[in-house]
Chains A and B, each alone.
Chain A
Amino acid sequence: MWKLIKIEVFKIFKKPRTYIAFIAVWAIVSLIQIAIYADGQKYMDFVLKDVKDNFLVIGDPLNGYFVCFVILQTLLIHVPLLVALISADMIAGEANMGTLRLIVTKPQSRTKLLLSKFIASSVYVLMLLLWIAVIGLFLSMGIFGTDGLINAKSSEIILINANDIFWRYLLAFAFAALALITVAALGFFFSIFAENSIGPIVATMSVIIVFTILSTLEIPLFEKIKQFFFTTHMIAWKGFFEMKENADGESIPGTIRNLPAVLRSAGVLAAHTVFFVGASIFIFKRKDVLS
């Protein structure tokens, strides 16, 4: 199994298209960093437009932690598309090249083969997130320095102390890994039905786009069903940047406001992943491989 995983990881990182995602992430992160460096104050003024008239901001809100928050917020909508490029190609790509029939004739079970391919695409997801962490968090901390974080929500502003942020990012990245692995599982699932990777890639992207739009629309009809969309739970990493309050309404550093809800979202994502991978194995084991 370990050998199979290594082979699959090698195959992923041998393809030039794999690096498109890393370049795209670098480009997006750099553009955000340049934009905030050059004109971040205007962005902050917009975020704080309703409080700027009455309040003075003490400290440096345009710091590395805030930049990383913006980057994560932006990227975690687009990175799933980059993940789909690889995961949706895992089986369909082999079928397209005509090598799928060859590898299923090798003396290992189809379950092992599929699991190794899925684990390899998860390794790709983790590498991509590590890359985002390096350039999005650590590089931003180097360029912009560190200070407290302003988490501007629709009806409240959460201020987090500088020494209470880093561990939240570690958890947020771990959660983002789980969310992107779910996307990888979806792409992987579509991949077993096609003999060309374009179809599964487009299908995965379409599902994510449609579900994301439905998740963000505030229409009563969708309010009840959006809890069932995995895209609704993909942004639960933001829950790590909210704090509990005591009876006097003071935020308590080192706490997470609604940890059970975040864990529930993690559970929903994990369940989706298990379902997609399980369904892929179930179907693929019974599939007549002709290509």
Chain B
Amino acid sequence: MSHRFYILRTSYCVLFTSFLLLLTSAASAQLPALELVKKVKAKLDKVNDYVATGKMKTDVVFIKAPISNIKAYYKKPNKFQVKRDGGISLLPKGGVSVNISSLLLTEEYTAIDAGNGTVDNQQVRIIKLLPLNENSDVVLTTMYIDEKALLIRKANTTTKDNGTYEMQMSFGKYADWGLPDKVVFSFNTKDYKLPKGITLEYDDGSKKAELPKNKKGRVEITYSSYVINKGVSDEQMK
């Protein structure tokens, strides 16, 4: 009698444990990589256009520039323009896609799940996007996606012509639109040199430190406001 009771009790325990395990796994089920990317894209697609105001800081070893006030214009599907108030700016070529929508512009890619990670203490899914088009300048994009908020917190892009660049984004009041408050863009820089005979350089006699070679450059844009879906004219995009 006691033996039968023991078997019955063990069976219930196994059944209960299995049920608990099933519940846990259901709760932690992750979206397939492609699904997740599509969801993020759908969120970004709510933005047809925007005009963003912000400040840009350039940190490239051979570029000496003050912090500048900029306006960024975006229009679907891939028009993006940065204009500076009263001055010249040098933006890294990959930086044209400082807007994250263009990262997901094409649908011709394969999304591969590369596990989980953290960016700024936020849990993220790591997704690798491989373009299917052989002529695409982008070779590989690695995205660090906040699955809960459906936000791209970081993206590493390797291109054929413009090297590898990294975008890290911080979100605030425009997170519902998927638009960052701050974008930090890192990239590799080449050396810059002009002959002194051409520049007719003024030598002030001070000792100049040797500039580090192949240092990473950084462009930091902090947006203070966005005007979203209010229309952007073609004139503004010029």
Contact = CB atoms under 8 A, between A and B. Distances in A.
Interface of A is mostly: mixed
A157 B84 CA distance: 17
24 contacts: A56-B92, A58-B90, A73-B200, A148-B84, A152-B194, A152-B199, A154-B195, A154-B199, A156-B63, A156-B192, A157-B62, A157-B64, A158-B64, A158-B65, A159-B63, A159-B87, A159-B88, A216-B197, A216-B200, A235-B201, A238-B202, A243-B66, A264-B205, A265-B204
Most central of B93, B200, B202, B203 by chain A CB within 10 Å: B202
B233 interface: no
A58 B204 contact: no
Interface string B164-204: 00000000000000000000000101111111110111111
A140 B22 CA distance: 77
B91 interface: yes
Given A159-B89, A235-B202, A154 B64 contact: no
A154 B200 CA distance: 9
Range of interface residues on A (Cβ < 8 Å):
35 or more
A45 interface: no
Interface in A169-211: none
Nearest to A61: B88
A249 B193 CA distance: 19
A86 interface: no
A55 B92 contact: yes
Contact of A154 (B87, B187, B196): B196
Contacts of B203: 232
A162 interface: yes
A158 B65 CA distance: 6
Contacts of B83: 58-59
Interface of B: 57, 59, 62-68, 82-84, 86-93, 95-96, 162-163, 187, 189-197, 199-206, 208, 211
A8 B194 CA distance: 45
Contacts of B195: 154
B193 A59 contact: no
Contacts, number: 147
Contacts of B84: 58-59, 148
A236 interface: yes
Contact of A56 (B57, B95, B202, B208): B95
Nearest to A63: B88
Given A54-B189, A56-B91, A56-B95, A251 B196 contact: no
A288 interface: no
A149 interface: yes
A159 B65 CA distance: 5
Contacts of B162: 54
Given A54-B93, A161-B86, A155 B204 contact: no
B62 A156 contact: yes
A238 to B, nearest CB: 4
Contact of A155 (B62, B65, B93, B190): B62
Contact of B90 (A157, A258, A264): A157
A58 B197 contact: no
Given A155-B193, A156-B211, A239-B202, 5 more contacts: A59-B87, A147-B86, A148-B86, A155-B211, A250-B67
A289 B90 CA distance: 63
A50 B191 contact: yes
A245 B87 contact: no
